[in-house]
A = this chain, B = another copy of it.
Amino acid sequence: MTNSNKTSRSNKHNRIIDAAVDVIAEKGYHLSRISDIAKRAQVADGTIYLYFKSKEAILLAIFEEKMGLLISEVNAALLEESDPCSRLKEFIRQHFIHVEAYPALARVLQVELRQSRQFIREYRPEKLWDYLRIVGDIIQQGQQEGVFRADLDPFILQWSLFGTLDELSVQWILSKKRERFNLEQVVHQVSAVFLSGLVKP
How many copies of this chain does the complex contain?
A: 4
Sorted from nearest, which 9 A-B pairs have the closest CB atoms? A163-B167, A193-B197, A30-B30, A163-B163, A196-B197, A160-B164, A163-B164, A115-B115, A197-B197
Asked whether A170 is an interface residue with its Cβ less than 8 Å from the other chain, the reply is: yes
Chain B minimum-CB-distance residue to A199: B196
- Is A68 part of the contact surface with B, judged by Cβ < 8 Å? no
Q: Does A118 contact B (CB under 8 A)?
A: yes
The A159-194 residues at the B interface (CB cut-off 8 A) are 159-168, 170-171, 174, 180-181, 185-186, 189-190, 192-194
Which of A36-44, A71-79, A150-158 lies at the interface?
A: A150-158
User: A162 and B167: CB pair below 8 A?
Assistant: yes
Interface size band for A:
35 or more
Contacts of A164 in B (CB 8 A): 159-161, 163-164, 167
Q: A160-B164, A160-B168, A163-B164 are in contact. Are A192 and B152 (CB under 8 A)?
A: yes
Chain B residues closer than 8 Å to A194, beta-carbon distance: 193, 197
> Which residues from chain A sit less than 8 Å from chain B, CB to CB?
26-28, 30-31, 111-112, 114-119, 151-153, 155-157, 159-168, 170-171, 174, 180-181, 185-186, 189-190, 192-198, 201
Residues of B within 8 A of A186 (CB): 156
A171 — nearest CB in chain B belongs to which residue?
B159
The answer to whether residues A153 and B189 also contact, given A159-B167, A163-B164 and a CB cut-off of 8 A, is: yes
Q: Given contacts A30-B30, A167-B166, are A201 and B190 in contact (CB under 8 A)?
A: no
Chain B positions within 8 Å of A118 at CB level: 26-28, 174
Shortest A151–chain B CB gap in Å is 8
B153 touches A163 (CB 8 A): no
CB contacts (< 8 Å) of A152 on chain B: these are 189, 192-193
Give 30 pairs: A residue, B residue, CB < 8 Å, sorted on A. Answer: A27-B118, A27-B119, A28-B115, A28-B118, A30-B30, A31-B119, A111-B114, A112-B115, A114-B170, A115-B115, A151-B192, A152-B192, A153-B189, A155-B180, A156-B181, A156-B185, A159-B167, A159-B171, A160-B164, A161-B164, A163-B166, A163-B167, A166-B166, A166-B167, A192-B197, A193-B194, A193-B198, A194-B197, A195-B197, A197-B197
